[in-house]
Structure 1
């Protein structure tokens, strides 16, 4: 697969990941944390704010691919 196409697909996947993840994490927060205190909200949004990095890391690693001399 050409590098430009791989990066284009990866960019679309990253944007979709961020949008879907933000909607899901906010929906879960509204449903589960309605009566929790502010520290619980802070901890939840801190954790979910960092967790999206894991799938994004795999998408970015796929986008980079293997160098041409190793393929």
Structure 2
């Protein structure tokens, strides 16, 4: 797969990831996190706010791979 196509697919997937992660984090934060003590709430909000970077980073790494040389 050419890098140009990977970047197109990756961009769409990143947008989907961010939207799904945000909606899921908001639902989780409104439901279960509000019942926790303040220290656990802080940890939960930090984790919910930053863990999306891991799948996004893996996706970006895949998008940026160089193309394989074409056989002559």
Count of aligned pairs between the two proteins = 69
Q: TM-score, normalised by structure 2?
A: 0.78
Gaps of 5+ in 2: none
In 2, the alpha carbon distance for the partners of 1:28 and 1:47 equals 12
What do you get for the CA RMSD once the two structures are aligned?
Answer: 1.7
SS at match of 1:66: coil
Gaps of 5+ in 1: none
Deviating 4+ runs (over 6 angstroms): none
Q: TM-score, normalised by structure 1?
A: 0.79
